[in-house]
């Protein structure tokens, strides 16, 4: 874990995982009581599993193993709700016919009233021999209900519904009191049913509306944004963000204020370095936007609004000299006039 001061300068690193654990792919979030929750993928021997650590103010860190897999568990994401509910989601490989085959999405929930983790639940539909579910993300609402989104390698030749999907696309399901809802189609539909959809990111705005952004291959490599319509219990397309003659990928959503959202992604022309696009959105429309570039590739951006109203962006800066993590205040840049989004 790397700490930063209020000016965004590094203030020291600390190792979280045990020294005998081969660990990577960490995610973290703060709870309403100031607890820092961190989840990661780790292996001591044999297969990878999911580990979580809680760091409560005034207490020693507590680490425990969340998954106990007969094959690797990977790609963990973590979310904390206003009531202190914590959800960790991840995928596990299915060990079939003597080797790893296909992946399925699972979740566990920390229930603050019990101060304990619930039993593991399988979020994705259980078709382990033919399906592949990846890239999960999670949010938790004010009532402690979790929403999990993921990319689903859907095969209509095997399962006829929904007919609007025929390639990897985005689905969502809720987890409430450890009960999983039926999955909802989020991603490609209609004319874009042949799109390959990956890397979904979910966020709840301050009005509790659920949003999802993802990387879509159609009609060009762009970022698509949808919102859950609670009246119809279905996701509605809102906007697409693209770069003419370019590629957009790895979006990340986060809540801002007054129903606004932050949306960041990496983009590049067919040749040239990766840059970062960052938008402040209101009802899916950009009310602030900036593009960041350096003499390096800028990758995997994540943006957050601080309690004092400042906007911060963290990303990987990658060059022939190596890679490093950068934290940058982008409040001033977001006041620029927005560029037009494709709709």
Q: What CATH code is carried by the domain that includes residue 281?
A: 2.120.10.10
Instruction: Give per-residue pLDDT as tens, 38-53.
Output: 999 999 888 899 999 9
Q: Evaluate if residue 110 carries a pLDDT over 80.
A: yes
Query: Residue 260 belongs to what H/E stretch?
Result: strand 260-269
So what's the pLDDT on residue 46?
Answer: 84
Res 158 pLDDT > 80: no
**Which band of pLDDT confidence, cut at 50, 70 and 90, is reported for residue 341?**
very low
What DSSP line would sit under 290-307, residue for residue? EEE-BSBEEEEEEEEE-T
Is position 24 within any domain? no
Whole-angstrom distance, CA of residue 328 vs CA of residue 311: 9
pLDDT in tens, 252-297: 999 999 899 999 999 999 888 999 999 999 999 999 999 999 999 9
Whether 23 contacts 76, CB under 8 Å? no
Q: Look at residue 67 and tell me if it is in a domain.
A: yes
Whether residue 35 lies inside any domain: the answer is no
Q: What is the pLDDT of residue 155?
A: 65
Instruction: Give the C-alpha separation, 178 to 140, whole Å.
Output: 13
The alpha carbons of the chain give a radius of gyration, in whole angstroms, of 20
Per-residue model confidence as pLDDT tens digits over 4-21: 888 888 888 888 888 888
Q: Are strands 260-269 and 311-319 parallel, antiparallel or unpaired?
A: unpaired
Q: Rounded distance, CA 159 to CA 66, Å? A: 32
pLDDT at 101 over 60: yes
Is residue 319 a part of any domain in this protein? yes
For the cut 80, the answer to whether the pLDDT of residue 95 exceeds it is no
Peptide bond into 162 cis (omega under 30): yes
**One-character DSSP codes across 60-110:** --EEEE----SS-EEEEEEEE-TTS-EEEEEEEEEEETTEEEEEEEEEEEE
Distance CA 316, CA 23 (A): 18
Give the phi and the psi of residue 341 in degrees, each rounded to 5: -95, 140
> In this predicted structure, what is the pLDDT of residue 156?
64
Query: What range defines the domain where residue 316 resides?
Result: 60-335
- Cα gap 187→222, rounded to integer Å: 12
Q: What is the DSSP letter of 190?
A: G
Number of domains the chain contains: 1
How many residues appear in the chain? Answer: 343
- Other CB atoms closer than 10 Å to residue 67's CB: what's the count? 21
Strand 121-122 to strand 146-153: parallel, antiparallel, or no bridges (unpaired)? unpaired
pLDDT the model gives residue 228: 97
The whole-number average pLDDT for the span 289-307 is 94
- pLDDT, residue 266, reads 97
Q: Is the peptide bond before 219 cis (omega within 30 degrees of 0)?
A: yes
Question: Is 313 a domain residue?
Answer: yes
CA 61-20-110 angle, to 5 degrees, is 35
Q: Is residue 99 part of a domain?
A: yes
Residue 334 has pLDDT above 50, yes or no: yes
Q: Establish if 316 belongs to a structural domain.
A: yes
Q: Is 75 exposed, middle or buried (0-12, 13-18, 19+ CB in 10 A)?
A: buried
Specify the pLDDT at position 139: 98
Mean pLDDT of 57-66: 92
Is residue 301 a contact partner of residue 252, using CB atoms and an 8 Å limit? yes
Between 70 and 341, residue with greater pLDDT: 70
CB 112 within 8 A of CB 59: no
Question: For strand 210-216 and strand 222-229, is the pairing parallel, antiparallel, or unpaired?
Answer: antiparallel
End-to-end CA distance of the chain: 39
How many helices (H) and strands (E) the chain has is answered by 0, 27
Give per-residue pLDDT as tens, 120-134: 999 988 765 556 788
pLDDT tens-digit series, residues 159-188? 666 667 777 889 999 999 999 999 998 987
Predicted local distance difference test score (pLDDT) of residue 338: 55
Q: Are 169 and 162 in contact (CB under 8 A)?
A: no
In a domain, 125, yes or no: yes
Which of 36, 38, 42, 39 shows the shortest CA–CA distance to 24?
Answer: 42
């Amino acid at each position: 874990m790397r700490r930063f001061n209020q000016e965004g300068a590094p203030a020291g690193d600390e190792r979280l995982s045990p020294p005998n654990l081969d660990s990577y792919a960490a995610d973290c979030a703060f709870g309403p009581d100031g607890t820092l929750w961190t989840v990661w993928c780790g292996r001591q021997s044999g297969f990878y599993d999911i580990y979580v650590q809680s760091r409560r103010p005034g207490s020693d860190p507590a680490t425990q193993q969340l998954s106990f897999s007969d094959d690797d568990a990977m790609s963990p994401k973590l979310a904390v709700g206003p009531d202190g509910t914590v959800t960790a989601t991840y995928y596990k490989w299915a060990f079939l016919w003597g080797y790893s085959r296909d992946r399925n999405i699972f979740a566990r929930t920390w229930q603050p009233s019990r101060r304990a983790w619930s039993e593991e639940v399988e979020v994705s539909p259980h078709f382990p021999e033919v399906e592949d579910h990846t890239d999960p993300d999670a949010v938790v609402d004010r009532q402690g209900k979790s929403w999990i989104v993921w990319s689903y390698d859907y095969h209509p030749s095997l399962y006829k519904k929904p007919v609007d999907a025929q390639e990897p696309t985005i689905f969502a399901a809720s987890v409430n009191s450890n009960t999983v809802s039926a999955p909802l189609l989020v991603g490609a539909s209609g004319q874009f049913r042949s799109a390959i959809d990956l890397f979904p990111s979910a966020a709840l705005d301050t009005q509790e509306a659920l949003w999802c952004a993802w990387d879509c291959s159609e009609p060009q490599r762009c970022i698509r944004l949808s919102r859950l319509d609670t009246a119809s219990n279905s996701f509605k397309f809102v906007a697409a963000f693209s770069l003419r003659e370019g590629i957009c990928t790895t979006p990340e959503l986060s809540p801002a204020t007054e129903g606004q959202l932050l949306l960041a992604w990496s983009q590049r022309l067919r040749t040239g370095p990766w840059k970062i696009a960052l938008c402040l959105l209101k009802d899916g429309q950009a009310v602030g936007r900036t593009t960041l570039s350096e003499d390096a590739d800028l990758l995997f951006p994540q943006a957050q609004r601080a309690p004092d109203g400042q906007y911060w962006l963290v990303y990987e800066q990658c060059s022939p000299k190596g890679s490093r993590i950068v934290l940058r205040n982008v409040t001033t840049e977001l006041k620029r006039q927005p560029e037009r989004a494709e709709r």
